[in-house]
Structure 1
Amino acid sequence: MSQDTERAAWLAALRAGAEVPPRRPRVPLYAGPHEIGSVEPDFLSRIDLQPLVDQREVLQKTERGWRLHGEPTSSLALLADALREAGLAHAWRDEQLAVPNRGGERVATVERAVVRGLGITTQAVHLVGLAPDGRHWVQQRAFDKPNDPGLWDTLMGGMVSARDTVQTALLRETWEEAGLRLHTLQGLRHGGFVTTRRPSDDGGGAGYVIERIDWFVATLPEGLLPVNQDGEVERFELINDEELWRRMLADEFTTEAALIQAAFLGY
């Protein structure tokens, strides 16, 4: 098998793995009139929610799916706490993410730990880092990370929180993960975006990931080195194209990082 054929086959499998339908049927989750996510039909039957102050139920099962009543962010907070109590939340971060409707309009915020169990679309940002000679700066994720521990990643990758825009998330995450200020980098540009849809083990295996990732490219000037600030990176390495491909073909990178690096390399 030629090198190009091997890479094309790998990329086809990678893309297929990033666009996987749910393991089991799902029904819509609504906040008032807005469809904000999806859940397995009986997933929310496993929690206990107290009524709202006006004695309305926070959550109602309908013929079309599940519907939250009350102010969306407050009701989602109650739902997140109930999922946590039932052991159906992921690692609790005390971090709010935006909750969009099907049209992409932000209608609420919610704790990050429950977005996958509720099938809520999330947004992330990544930075492809280069040396002046074209080699690639990559990071190994910390071994205690709740997702993909120890796998290789782009120079920086992080979620866009509810308080962020894509640009402010890029600025913040680049400092927290790599100790770099954007104004010190050269040739910063938006490279594109990738979207992943696949089942998740969150919520006791009832989760589903839908995420849009905007990725950027920049060069670190000679002598400027990444230094992690938040404890979420095991180490950084500077590698050439050949080593990058070797690690990607060996599935040593996260799915998202591999998709981004392949796109950057023109595949």
Structure 2
Amino acid sequence: MSSQPVGPGFAQWVATARQQALQPAPSQRLALVAAGHVVGSVVEGFLDQIGLQCTFHKHSLLLKEEHSGGATWHLDGAADEITPALNALASALRDQGLCGPWRGEQLAVCNAAGDVVGTVERGAVRVLGITTRAVHLVGQAPDGRIWVQKRAMTKPNNPGQWDTLMGGMVSAADTLEQALARETWEEAGLRVDELRHLTHGGHVAFSRPSREGGGAGFMVERIDWFHAVVPAGMEPDNQDGEVECFALLHPDDVRERVAQGAFTLEAGLVLAEFFGA
């Protein structure tokens, strides 16, 4: 990791960004329980918009239970019905325009102990307060400059902003290492086994309100980040159309752009950890 000094503008950005990354929900959220497992949370009144006691999948019912400590939403059904029930709920939310961008990608759903109990469409995770995982890669050239990407204007989130060399979600089908390899190839056209000194750097935690679902979303995410050296003569080449361009910048230029707000919040905080800020 870099040992270069951190400028005051960058340091102030980091302090503010860390506060932005960890924020309480602006209004009460009710636990979402599936087959006895707490898997997420929803804003008070949010699921009332799609109707009470609605059958979503076979024998799975969406029920609101009132009790002395408040209310809880339940997807009642067997453990093996969690995935189809959650995806049916996601479809119902999409039909009402209450979902985030639909991706056709399944993300893992975990209980409070961290055990995977099912999967759900990516577009529903924020409005349902479901915890997600992501992975980022900080790539350096041998001379210490840093490879960064500019997100395509067609991206549903943060179009046109700068990002780390690679940043992507960990899908339900991936381990962390598989997601790192797949996303590095898709976004940067690089094979991780051809990179040098690939190291897990740490993780950044997010829990903050989300604009999805008309502001009803809540982002809970762990970003694991890695850093590696991209060998001389090897340049990133986007494969999936989600990157507008790549740039190779001096660390001071990266810090300056982060401080100016040119990078996504997630990428900026990953780079802050990389720089030791």
Aligning the two structures, in what range does the TM-score lie when normalised by the shorter sequence?
over 0.9
1:197 aligns with 2:169: no
**Hey, what's the Cα distance between the residues in 2 that align with 1:94 and 1:35?**
24
How has the CA–CA distance of structure 1 residues 123 and 250 changed in structure 2, closer, same or farther, with 3 Å as cutoff?
A: same
Q: Which of 49, 67, 72 pairs up with 1:65?
A: 72
> Runs of 5+ in structure 1 lacking a partner?
none
TM-score by length of 1: 0.95
How has the CA–CA distance of structure 1 residues 242 and 36 changed in structure 2, closer, same or farther, with 3 Å as cutoff?
A: same
1:17, distance to aligned residue in structure 2 (A)? 0.7
Q: Would you say the 8 A contact 1:72–1:108 is kept in 2?
A: yes
1:138 aligns with 2:148: yes
Q: Which of 252, 257, 264 pairs up with 1:247?
A: 257
**Deviation readout 1:209-260 (Å, 9 max, x if unpaired):** 0000100001111110000000111110000012111101101111111111
How has the CA–CA distance of structure 1 residues 127 and 52 changed in structure 2, closer, same or farther, with 3 Å as cutoff?
A: closer
1:164, distance to aligned residue in structure 2 (A)? 0.3
1:29 aligns with 2:26: no
1:162 aligns with 2:172: yes
1:181 aligns with 2:191: yes
**Hey, what's the Cα distance between the residues in 2 that align with 1:221 and 1:249?**
28
**Deviation readout 1:98-153 (Å, 9 max, x if unpaired):** 00111111111000000000000000000000000000000011111111111110
1:12, distance to aligned residue in structure 2 (A)? 1.1
Letter matched to residue 67 of structure 1: H
Q: Which of 50, 55, 63 pairs up with 1:50?
A: 55
How has the CA–CA distance of structure 1 residues 240 and 4 changed in structure 2, closer, same or farther, with 3 Å as cutoff?
A: closer
1:50, distance to aligned residue in structure 2 (A)? 3.4
Structure 1 counterpart of 2:241: 231
Q: Would you say the 8 A contact 2:56–2:89 is kept in 1?
A: no
1:3, distance to aligned residue in structure 2 (A)? 6.5
Q: Would you say the 8 A contact 2:225–2:270 is kept in 1?
A: yes
**Hey, what's the Cα distance between the residues in 2 that align with 1:97 and 1:182?**
23
**Hey, what's the Cα distance between the residues in 1 that align with 2:224 and 2:6?**
28
Letter matched to residue 10 of structure 1: W
**Hey, what's the Cα distance between the residues in 1 that align with 2:105 and 2:56?**
25
Q: Would you say the 8 A contact 1:41–1:65 is kept in 2?
A: no
The count of residues paired between Structure 1 and Structure 2 equals: 264
1:265 aligns with 2:261: no
1:13 aligns with 2:21: no
**Deviation readout 1:179-217 (Å, 9 max, x if unpaired):** 000111111010000011111111111000000010000
1:6, distance to aligned residue in structure 2 (A)? 3.6
TM-score by length of 2: 0.92
Letter matched to residue 145 of structure 2: R
Letter matched to residue 263 of structure 1: E
The percent of aligned pairs where both chains have the same amino acid is 53
Matched residue SS, 2:147:
strand
1:5, distance to aligned residue in structure 2 (A)? 3.9
Task: Give the RMSD, CA atoms, in angstroms.
Answer: 1.4
1:8, distance to aligned residue in structure 2 (A)? 2.9
